[in-house]
Chain A
């Protein structure tokens, strides 16, 4: 199915506008698109009338010209007729916001709309969803604009069965400065599901990382999903809900008992190089790291720090996440020691972690990073930057980023406290270097790069 009209509509109709209730989802959607987004919007309501000075059309059939996207926010019972009209009038596709389908036991009605949509090759998202967030074209989320923290335009596409989780993760990505290409809440995913969207975003040039929140797959759908994801050149991240088995089932074989739904899910994802995040504390940094680096690493980590304690904690975290921190050869250690400023030669250590101590200056970080980035023993560098070390300036983030540009070796920075040290952080982020706010998070980022390959 062709999904382009859904994500980049030039014209759209919002069906179900209320003339009396300003908080009705259809009104919220109409208003935000009318005021802030590019698609031209037409209000539709079967009683017609005037809304905010604009003519309300009594049917989609009356709307002039081609409508790319219809957003349906009516009672469930009205949806079948509306979808039939949309198909008749040549609408490109729909987002069905309305609830009251399979999720409330009304599977029959849901099957009916799927049947007519399939027959007409008419794509629709939902029902029971928030739909599509695709600025500057369209935003069908019935959340008032001022209530949401919008991530900047970026490279991560988010797909979620749950609308609430989707909005939450958008807010959190925004908080970390991770940009979003588009977001889709698929609700009951009656027609368009994860696999269709994986296809769409694989071919969408703005998207570099495809991230999913998944509650479960339909029969055998998981098989198709991982086989497609394995062919997709972009990293695919998945957060799964429902990891614990519900209720006790009588299982009569050892294999069936040990190969529970989640165990299989998790193992098969890893087998095909899909990066599974166990929780949101992994999900957000995984998205951030993979939006900066799409090539997998083996997971040999070089650590540069301004404090021995930070280095030690980072080593612990690396090892517990299956990453290694190889000791540098005698020769390499001597090389770095000799190039570093004389002041700290005697007190710094160079085994890996390279601990430059609290007496280090910008120049020492730059020298050490430059040399370490050229060692084949490590394929990713963690910079544990302590901005309160007196010899360090806010210039350092940008200077270190330059080294990544020259060597191409992935670099991950740790900087505590966002507001206080924003200058450092911006130096990295403007250059596409991911920044973590805890050591654990920095290690999660490195782990994401390692897991983005078949296990």
Chain B
């Protein structure tokens, strides 16, 4: 079920039509999904302090009401490994229209997956799973199921994508943690059902899946008009 804080996040984002990344991550974390350690820095000194706390390298992202697709606005910088680069990133992001602050978060590794949801007109909530990253729409290695997902659905989704061998560990790479991935899909499916009257679509992309964990590195939640 949705907690009051989750409901408030949705409610306060309605006007804008989508949920800003820090709030989206807070929502996901309340629902029981793993997100990276992050901090919304309003000033550059705060950013540097948090970076030192979580250790370099880090990821910096713009938080802007006008930047629903951050990478298209050059608002994402990965692998930042020095104070100087944090300052540069902050300086550059602050010029992006609608700048609210800079998200500083730990850098993750693992297989990049996408887990998404859409409120379909004919079928209601559906869940998408596949290979993630910025080129998802080019590779389109994805599979769809109507929510809520059962165990059989999750098994067949993992079986159905072409990149199945990557999940299992390909050419010396470690397999992903299937137990964690399974849990993530199940929890996400429940969340989607609970949010069905509010959401239009959700992208969790990328989700970094390693042999230890599955962590949602970015989230975009679009709300119903």
Contact = CB atoms under 8 A, between A and B. Distances in A.
A217 B122 contact: yes
A222 interface: yes
Contact of A259 (B18, B126, B156): B126
B118 A259 contact: yes
B162 interface: no
B116 A254 contact: yes
A113 interface: no
Contacts of B117: 255
A255 B123 contact: no
B202 A223 contact: no
B118 A271 contact: no
Interface string A207-219: 0000000001111
Interface centre among A219, A220, A256, A257 (most CB of B within 10 A): A256
Q: How large is the interface on A (under 10, 10 to 19, 20 to 34, 35 or more residues)?
A: 20 to 34
Nearest to B160: A455
A216 B122 contact: yes
A271 B156 CA distance: 9
Q: Is the interface of B mostly helix, strand, loop or mixed?
A: strand
B104 interface: no
Interface string B115-146: 01110111110101010000011001011111
Interface string A246-266: 000000111111110101110
A238 to B, nearest CB: 12
Given A258-B142, A454-B152, A220 B116 contact: no
A455 B143 CA distance: 11
A258 B222 contact: no
A267 B145 contact: yes
Contact of A220 (B68, B118, B122, B136): B122
B144 A252 contact: no
A268 interface: yes
Contacts of B128: 255, 258-259
Interface string B44-79: 000000000000000000000000110000000000
A257 to B, nearest CB: 6
A288 to B, nearest CB: 27
Nearest to B125: A223
A340 interface: no
A256 B145 contact: no
B118 A264 contact: yes
Contacts of A216: 122
B205 interface: yes
Contacts of A258: 116, 128, 130, 136-137, 140, 142
Given A223-B122, A223-B124, 18 more contacts: A217-B123, A220-B122, A222-B123, A252-B18, A253-B116, A253-B200, A253-B222, A254-B203, A255-B114, A258-B116, A258-B136, A259-B118, A265-B122, A265-B123, A267-B144, A267-B145, A268-B146, A455-B160
Interface of B: 18, 68-69, 114, 116-118, 120-124, 126, 128, 130, 136-137, 140, 142-146, 152-153, 156, 160, 200-203, 205, 220, 222
Please list the 8 inter-chain residue pairs (A to B) with the smallest Cβ-Cβ separation, ordered nearest first.
A255-B116, A222-B122, A267-B144, A217-B122, A256-B201, A222-B123, A253-B201, A259-B118
14 contacts: A226-B123, A252-B222, A253-B118, A253-B202, A253-B203, A253-B220, A255-B116, A255-B203, A261-B121, A264-B126, A268-B126, A268-B145, A454-B152, A455-B156
